[in-house]
């Protein structure tokens, strides 16, 4: 199953985001290597500053995703204010890219 995670930062979260960003990137790289995280995109605000994240996961269930997100640095450090999780499916035009990453 694939899930889209759309997360918006707290308005004043940029300093905290930058502080824990290395942990976020390290964890993301582990999820990528395990085939759990397919893509990640930064959301930018009107000043071209980091303001949130979009991540596409491929996991066995929503429960597995919830378990992974318990270790997400931007959650544990309270960077993200609002998180939306939606069932999703990677478009067929992007399947080639998904397989190229593995």
- Look at residue 48 in the predicted model and tell me its pLDDT: 95
CB 16 within 8 A of CB 72: no
Helix (H) or strand (E) holding 28: helix 14-33
- Look at residue 95 in the predicted model and tell me its pLDDT: 74
CB-based burial of residue 37 (10 Å sphere; 0-12 exposed, 13-18 middle, 19+ buried)?
buried
Query: How much of the chain, in percent, has pLDDT values that exceed 90?
Result: 87
CB 4 within 8 A of CB 90: no
């Amino acid at each position: 199953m694939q899930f889209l995670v759309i997360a918006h930062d707290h308005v004043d979260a940029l300093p905290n985001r930058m502080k824990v960003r290395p942990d976020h990137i390290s964890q993301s790289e582990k999820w990528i290597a395990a085939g759990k995280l397919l893509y990640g995109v930064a959301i930018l605000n009107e000043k071209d500053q980091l303001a949130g994240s979009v991540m596409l996961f491929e996991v066995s269930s929503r429960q597995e995703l919830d378990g992974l997100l318990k270790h997400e640095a931007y959650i544990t450090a309270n960077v993200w204010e609002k998180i939306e999780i939606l069932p999703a499916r990677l478009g067929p035009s992007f399947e080639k890219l998904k397989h190229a990453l593995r």
